[in-house]
Chain A
Amino acid sequence: MTNEQQNDTRIWHGELTTRSALRRRGLLQVSPGLFWILIFLTVPALALIALSFATRGGYGEIEWVFTLENFSRLAGYGMFGWSPDYLIILARSLWVAFVTTTICTALAFPLAFYIARKPKTTRYVWLTMVIIPFWTNLVIRTYAWQLVLSPDLPIAKFAAVLGLIPAGSPLYPSEFAVYLGMISAFLPFVVLPLYSSVEKLDWSLVEAAFDLYSNRRRVFMQAILPQTLPGLSVGAILTFVPAMGMFLIPDFLGGAKYMLVGNLIQQQFGKSRDWPFGAAVSLALMVLTLIGLFVFRRKGEKMEVI
């Protein structure tokens, strides 16, 4: 039977129909979604790519003159020779996102287990407590950290007593404050998917591993981790991707010296009015994020077959 004949053969699929009719209807059904993705994802992405090869005019307008200058500038080649400033920002963003993801995961594991082992009635109270911060806007939460870290409050005073900061100064802007803000913002994104994995955990596998002479480490690596990997990878992606592009928290808590790629992009599209360069940085961020995800997936796949 040729392909076309096969497509026109009448088949039962809740009604008497043909394969081609089913396919037509399927296409119709997904078209709103496809249209949405086309308009709001594909077109802007293409525009961004085009923009990154354009030239900034004298007054910040866009001139459609093809150039690679934006990328060479990002790589550090400027008017006054080579400087690694932009590359440092990119590397730092990657590092901050990585550390945030790692710490969030490390914190989320015990929390997810703690909640999952609570009786069903109180479990939802705990989950609600994890979600509550979402009810407040991130801007307000970040301002709140400024207050918490301000010189008059115990944390900064304590740090001053320990000699970590001069007396009477706040704990921000600092790298520490950025991490604090990032972790508090992203922790729920790891806890929730991880919790859903932990809740479904087959404890008999844990017992089997224990029964078969495993120490705690081996029980975790062989019986718990493979089972929680789906939740863990969702949580890590949900943290890593937005953490790469975060500009609000480093802006409020990191100060001018602690710039991340998100701030750089914001600056180019805002104050500097250099859209083509901003587009080039955005593209670099996108590529870096994709590489990060790819590496993460490879690592995850490897873990599953240990």
Chain B
Amino acid sequence: MTLEAYAVHKSYGNVQALKNVDLTVQKGELFTLLGPSGCGKTTLLRIIAGLEQADTGSVFLNGLPITQKPANERPVNTVFQSYALFPHMTNADNVAFGLRSQKIPEGDIRTRVNKILEMMELTNFKDRYPDQLSGGQRQRVAMARALVCEPELLLLDEPMSALDAKLRTQLQIQLRRLQQQLNKTFILVTHDQDEALTVSDRIAVMKDGEVLQHGSPRQIYDRPNCRFVAQFIGTANILEAERRNDQIITHAGRLTVPSPPQWKRGALVIRPEGIVLRDQEPETNGVLATVTETFYRGNFLDITLDPAGLRMRCAPHNKLQVGDKVWVELLKDALVAIDD
């Protein structure tokens, strides 16, 4: 089931929530819309769900236009941020809700509800009310309620935001497994970059109503195409740079990159893992640096270096002290040129 959205535009008064966004999601993919609050990711999700109308643009599901269809006629279900469980119904009745709306025979409903409750490990809670469940259990009921309808496409609007950090990591892995087991198309909205990297097949990074970059988690992390993406996801060293022929001059010195950029002035991005300690001056991209700060983080050591305030990460057994002079190499393949 592919989802395609073309030139989707949406304004609220003077605020442009979405600026001509294009999007393609492939069948069986877990696609994540990632961005800070107010970037338009939830608006886009709601337009796909049919809960909001786009001003212009169109949405196609499996090649069929669904732009004009109301939410209750789209084979798409949503897991809401607040879960939106009906408080006056038991969990089993909540899960059965979508099937009852479709007037499916009560016998079939019971079978399907029981099956999904078992799969989500909710059988013991079926006769309780949502108020009697914990946050994680409620989230599972919300997932079950949407999945029991066997939607072509499942939309998840920040499903983890109400849960604590430990539980969240656990549920992210479960979400990924569930999606692969069902082999269904999921679209996830989140502002949590860790979550996006962990669960997604592909990510679209959004800002101010635009998609800045889309690609696999690896592409997004290793090859950010702009300053915002580099900084929003993980930690990034950004070096202001100037190109002279094939050499790039930065605050950290002369650096070489795999393919020289087109610009005269721009920036280079390097992740902390792209900087490595060397015993002596390396052949390329070596920088003699002074340790200005160290942070012991248990399983690794975070170090800040002068020049350029470079941040790097090394094994925790390194006994580096503030003031030590070290050779580091900025790995050539880890350097990414960006033009803004």
Contacts and interface: CB of A to CB of B under 8 A. Distances in A.
Interface stretch (B78-86, B288-296, B312-320): B78-86
Interface string B33-56: 000000000000000011100000
B102 interface: yes
B145 interface: yes
Given A204-B82, A214-B72, A305-B88, A209 B97 contact: yes
Interface in A237-257: none
A226 B86 contact: yes
B51 A213 contact: no
B72 A208 contact: no
Contact of A211 (B77, B81, B85, B102): B77
Contacts of B87: 226
Contacts of A212: 72, 77, 97-98, 101, 145-146, 149
B253 interface: no
Contacts, number: 62
Nearest to A216: B72
Contact of B84 (A208, A214, A304): A208
A295 interface: no
Interface in A165-192: none
Contacts of A304: 88
Nearest to A226: B88
Interface in B55-86: 70-73, 76-78, 80-82, 84-86
Nearest to B86: A205
B49 A211 contact: yes
A210 B88 CA distance: 17
A218 B86 CA distance: 13
A211 B73 CA distance: 8
Contacts of B82: 202, 204
Interface in B302-327: none
Given A205-B86, A208-B84, A222-B86, A213 B102 contact: yes
A223 interface: yes
A218 B82 CA distance: 21
A29 interface: no
Interface string B157-174: 000000000000000000
A98 to B, nearest CB: 26
A204 B46 CA distance: 12
A208 B101 contact: no
A202 B84 contact: yes
Among B71, B77, B145, B146, the most chain A Cβ lie within 10 Å of the Cβ of B71
Contacts of B72: 210-215
Contacts of A208: 78, 80, 84-86
Interface string A283-306: 000000000000000000000111
A207 interface: yes
Given A202-B84, A207-B51, A218 B101 contact: yes
Nearest to A213: B101
Contacts of A223: 86
Contacts of A209: 86, 97, 101
A88 B335 CA distance: 93
Contacts of B88: 226, 304-306
Contacts of B101: 209, 212-215, 218
Nearest to B49: A211
B84 A210 contact: no
A205 B98 contact: no
Given A205-B86, A305-B88, A210 B80 contact: no
Nearest to B82: A204
A140 B146 CA distance: 57
A204 B80 contact: yes
Interface in A148-166: none
Given A214-B101, A222-B97, A207 B80 contact: yes
A21 to B, nearest CB: 36
Contacts of B84: 202, 204-205, 207-208
Contacts of B145: 212
Given A210-B51, A223-B86, 19 more contacts: A204-B81, A207-B71, A207-B80, A208-B80, A208-B85, A210-B72, A211-B50, A211-B51, A211-B71, A211-B72, A211-B76, A213-B73, A213-B98, A214-B72, A215-B72, A218-B101, A226-B87, A226-B88, A304-B88
**Which 4 pairs from chain A and chain B are nearest by CB?**
A212-B98, A208-B84, A204-B84, A213-B101
10 contacts: A202-B82, A202-B84, A204-B82, A204-B84, A207-B71, A207-B80, A211-B50, A211-B71, A211-B77, A211-B78
